[in-house]
Amino acid sequence: MQQRFVSIWFCYLKTDWFVRRHQNLKDIPFVLAEVSHGRKVITAINPLAQKEGIAVGMVVADARASVPQLQAVDDVPGLNEKLLHAIGQWCDRFTPVVAVDAPHGLLLNVTGCAHLWGGETPYLKEIQRRFKEYGYHTRMAIADTPGAAWAVARYGNKSMVQSGKQSDALMDLPPAALRLSVPILEKLHKLGFRNIKGFMHMQRSALRRRFGKELLLQLDKALGHELETLLPILPPAEYTERLPCLEPIRTQAGIEIAIQKLLDQLCTRLQKEGKGIRNATLKGYRVDGHMVSTAVSTVLPSVNTHHLFRLFELKIPELEPDLGIEMFTLEATALEDLQAQQETLFEITGNLADKELAELVDRISSKLPSARIHRYLPVEGYWPEQSIQATPKLTGEPTTAWRTDKQRPVELLNTPRRIEVTAPIPDYPPMLFTYMGALHKVTKADGPERIERAWWMDRGYHRDYYAIEDEQGRRYWIYRLGHYDNTQPPGWFLHGYFA
């Protein structure tokens, strides 16, 4: 597929932004200025000031002498970069690859995007229309190379360069259209080169001797003989589907249709490549310039569009369409290889790799976002809380076996909780204990089981564990920390519950 690029040049970037914030500046000539060497120097102008002959670099006092009604506003340091970065992120609705072209432009890689708007002409017109609505004066061009698009946007008289015709589009443009340095431009001007066609077909060796490598490099970039890569503001996701809307979508039914179409496209593509979705993000670009999004996750890689749609369906209330969503994107942010599964006539037993179990866990997680569903695996560790590990995956084998020679509680607390006990003899289990204000009478007890600390990791007291049962038949796992001491009694803690 032939690559295509759009160059956007903001003719009055900062002053247009100031007009958006201060409408009283809309119909008067005004400039932005900053103090330099004790004088206020103009750094940016609006169209009305330019018509009056005002130029960047002039002193404000001199400019007011010729245009008394001129208004000067203090410039904001770093504003240009912030605006370009923010506008570039907003342009994500048109293409995932947007790069800053400092100091006054953006470069968009629009390969494979224009057909979503019915072709390159309506695509470019739509971008121009949106910026015009926001009050920005822009010039744009589309071409096979970033260099050709940049040149035509700033110095050409048309916005569309047909594929393979960038040489014809550059012919009559001045040398400055090649983004050359000032010394080289001055040399070209002295030698009488007023346009690119004057030296485009000259011998390369002669151009290299006279102007160095820069001229040939920039010419090759514009013609497509030298590859020019863009550094996108946001790294594009490899698996993203886009769906522009003819009319802004405001209803739940419309959002559901959009989700279904995007899932069909994305899952079909992933299935061919043997990959499944683990995390996916749906974004909606509203007509007011804001973006809304929601995301879903799965415990097993999935390309089941019905299941994924049900997960997104629960998230639709999070999307606020407001005046309407004009563009949807679906991005697979985490993928895993699909595991081939053998089909059987009879399913006798299930396991953790069961697809239906994974989809059930997905639905529960979506309906109860505050709940945390874990699978626990045994790990080697002396301390009970260090001998298990939570994992979000249903697949995977433990590195060690579960311990079965000693009884362990069904629920182990992450942090042991202090209790007050009454014990008849120091090494005996307690007769009574108080937990959260409630008194429990111990009727049965088993223990102690001493568990020492891992001395190579930390130092401290050992634990003596008891399995006890109260008068209501509830069973607990408690321990005493350290030995009895006449000066400082040991602490007792509740660490888990038996079934």
In 49-104 the beta strands, taken as DSSP E runs, fall at 71-74, 97-101
| pLDDT at res. 340 | 57
Per-residue confidence (pLDDT) for residue 96, from 0 to 100: 87
Taking domain 166-223, whether its CATH number is 1.10.10 is answered by: no
In the prediction, which pLDDT does 488 show? 66
Q: What is the pLDDT of residue 368?
A: 67
Q: To which residue do tokens 């007769």 refer?
A: 431
H-helix or E-strand containing 150? Answer: helix 146-155
pLDDT tens across the length of the chain (499 residues): 689 999 999 999 999 999 999 999 999 999 999 998 889 999 999 999 999 999 999 999 999 999 999 999 999 999 999 999 999 999 988 998 999 999 999 999 999 889 888 899 999 999 999 999 999 999 999 999 999 999 999 999 999 999 999 999 999 999 999 999 999 999 999 999 999 999 999 999 999 999 999 999 999 999 999 999 899 998 877 888 989 888 889 999 999 999 999 999 999 999 999 999 989 999 999 988 888 999 988 888 889 999 999 999 888 988 888 889 998 999 999 888 887 554 443 444 455 556 676 777 777 677 665 556 677 778 877 778 777 777 766 666 777 777 777 888 888 888 899 999 887 776 788 889 998 889 999 999 988 888 887 766 667 788 899 999 999 999 999 998 887 765 666 789 999 999 7
Q: Where are the domains of the chain?
A: 5-155, 166-223, 240-337, 411-497
pLDDT attached to residue 344: 45
pLDDT of residue 234: 84
Separation CA 95–CA 110 (nearest Å): 6
Say whether domain 240-337 belongs to CATH 3.10.20.740: no
Determine the CATH number of domain 5-155.
3.40.1170.60
Q: Do 324 and 287 touch, CB atoms closer than 8 A?
A: yes
pLDDT at 460: 75
pLDDT at position 348 is 46
**What element of type H or E holds 213?**
helix 213-223
Please enumerate, as own/partner, the contacts of 286-292 that have beta carbons within 8 Å and a separation of 24 or more. 286/248, 286/321, 286/322, 286/323, 286/324, 286/325, 286/326, 287/248, 287/323, 287/324, 287/325, 287/326, 288/322, 288/323, 289/90, 289/134, 290/322, 291/92, 291/93, 292/318, 292/319, 292/320, 292/321, 292/325
Q: Rounded to whole angstroms, what are the CA distances from 168 to 14, 57, 139, 156, 214?
A: 33, 35, 20, 11, 21
